[in-house]
Amino acid sequence: MWKAFAYFLFTCLAVVSRAFAGVGEDSLNRYDMLDPEDKLCASFIYQQGTVVLNNGVVLSVPEGYRFLDAVQGRTLVERLWGNPQNPGFLGLLLPQPGSRPDSILFGIEISMDETGYLSQQEALQLNYTALMQKMQQHLQQENNWRNKKGLSTVTDMYWALPPAYHETDNTQHLVRILQLGKNVSFLNYEMRILTRTGALSLTAVANTSQLNTLQTLMPAMVGNIHMPVGQRYLDFNPHTDQIAAWTERVLRMGELLDARHFFEWLLNTWLFVAVCLVMVLFIYLMQYFHRRRELPKQFFHVDERLN
């Protein structure tokens, strides 16, 4: 997957730079000589400055980058790079040609994940080991799809850094290493900005050597995102809005049979108090019915000598 990602991106950047280079050359003839995929890349129209995404979020394109909207971005990511469809795809940030010669950052995909509201308490208590297991299961399904398409597959995925949640800006940082074969690996840095209905996801794909760069770049990207009123994290309405279904309660369902996980979950929730109250009520009811079943006392004495 990421080999194709890198190959087509560098092809696009090279084509765009060549298409406008060279004074006095016949640009139309040069365009006609391109392959169909290169022609498609050369036809893309990039944006800079302030961009309004399809869901109303305002993006300030960082210096040294350019933005490809949802329609063109889907063509690049799905048709040329061979990725599966992402229903929440909103656009793609790509480095300007020649602006970062020493950096190997392929791009930052922007998408909306409408999975429901995730509270701060649940975000802080998420079991990221279980989350990675879920991701690996999904990866196996995606690899099956890639095999049918004749595309390269990801052989392994694991955390590059411990996942973190930042309470100050309500962001989750999920940094993964994706392994292709034995010698090729890529960095997948996903920053999820929590919203009223889910999360705005910014996923950067880069060489593993760019980990330190992304640790600085991605948190700073929060300042380039302007969430409209009504979609912000603080706009959540518990009476009308949907709660996220992929929370710790869901992720731990398969672990409840394990005694250690069960008691950790029990002691950290209100269920512990409820269980205690039920036990007290049960004991009281048992004693009550036991007293009701006792034989009544005799109110007169029968003298057996009279018989």
Q: Into how many domains does the chain fold?
A: 2
What is the spatial distance between Cα 228 and Cα 219, in angstroms, rounded to a whole number? 19
pLDDT for 184 beyond 70: yes
**Which residues, in sequence order, are CB contacts of 213 under 8 Å at separation 6+?**
103, 105, 206
Mean per-residue pLDDT, 223-248: 89
Q: Does 113 share its domain with 75?
A: yes
pLDDT for 232 beyond 70: yes
Q: What is the CATH number of the domain that holds 162?
A: 3.40.1000.10
Q: What is the pLDDT of residue 6?
A: 40
* Cα 184–Cα 187–Cα 193 angle in degrees, nearest 5: 160
| pTM of the full structure | 0.70
Q: Does 233 share its domain with 270?
A: no
Mean per-residue pLDDT, 40-68: 93
In which band, very low, low, confident or very high, does the pLDDT at 244 lie, cut at 50, 70 and 90? confident
Residue 4 lies in a domain: no
What the block records as the tokens of 45 is 């129209």
Residue 13 lies in a domain: no
pLDDT for 267 beyond 50: yes
Residue 83 lies in a domain: yes
Q: Does 141 share its domain with 190?
A: yes
Q: Tell which residue, 195, 254, 198, has the closest CA to residue 226.
A: 195
Residue 106 vs residue 67, higher pLDDT: 67
Q: Does 134 share its domain with 232?
A: yes
What confidence tens digit (pLDDT) does each residue in 30-45 have? 545 555 667 778 889 9
Q: What is the pLDDT of residue 24?
A: 38
Residue 10 lies in a domain: no
Q: Does 234 share its domain with 274?
A: no
What confidence tens digit (pLDDT) does each residue in 142-181 have? 888 888 888 778 889 999 999 999 999 999 999 999 998 7
Contact of 168 with 204, CB cutoff 8 Å: no
One-letter identity of residue 142? E
pLDDT for 56 beyond 60: yes
Q: Does 213 share its domain with 185?
A: yes
> How big is the chain, counted in residues?
307
Residue 129 lies in a domain: yes
Q: What pairing do the DSSP bridges indicate for beta strands 156-159 and 171-180?
A: antiparallel
pLDDT for 68 beyond 90: yes
Three-state secondary structure call for residue 141: helix
Q: Does 50 share its domain with 175?
A: yes
Residue 1 lies in a domain: no
Domain endpoint, select from 209, 242, 275: 242
Where is average pLDDT lowest: 42-46, 66-70, 259-263? 259-263
Residue 194 lies in a domain: yes
Q: Does 282 share its domain with 164?
A: no
Q: Tell which residue, 12, 46, 8, 43, has the closest CA to residue 27.
A: 43
Please give the backbone phi and psi of residue 278, each rounded to the nearest 5 degrees, phi first: -65, -40
Q: Does 124 share its domain with 178?
A: yes
pLDDT for 22 beyond 80: no
Q: What is the pLDDT of residue 5?
A: 38
Task: Return mean pLDDT, the chain.
Answer: 78
Q: Does 195 share its domain with 155?
A: yes
Residue 250 lies in a domain: no
Q: Does 238 share its domain with 265?
A: no
Structural domain range at position 276: 261-292
Three-state secondary structure call for residue 155: coil
User: Partners of 173 in the beta sheet?
Assistant: 164, 191
Residue 77 gets which letter from DSSP? Answer: I
Q: Does 150 share its domain with 268?
A: no
What confidence tens digit (pLDDT) does each residue in 195-223 have? 999 999 999 999 998 999 999 999 999 99
% of residues, the chain, pLDDT over 90: 40
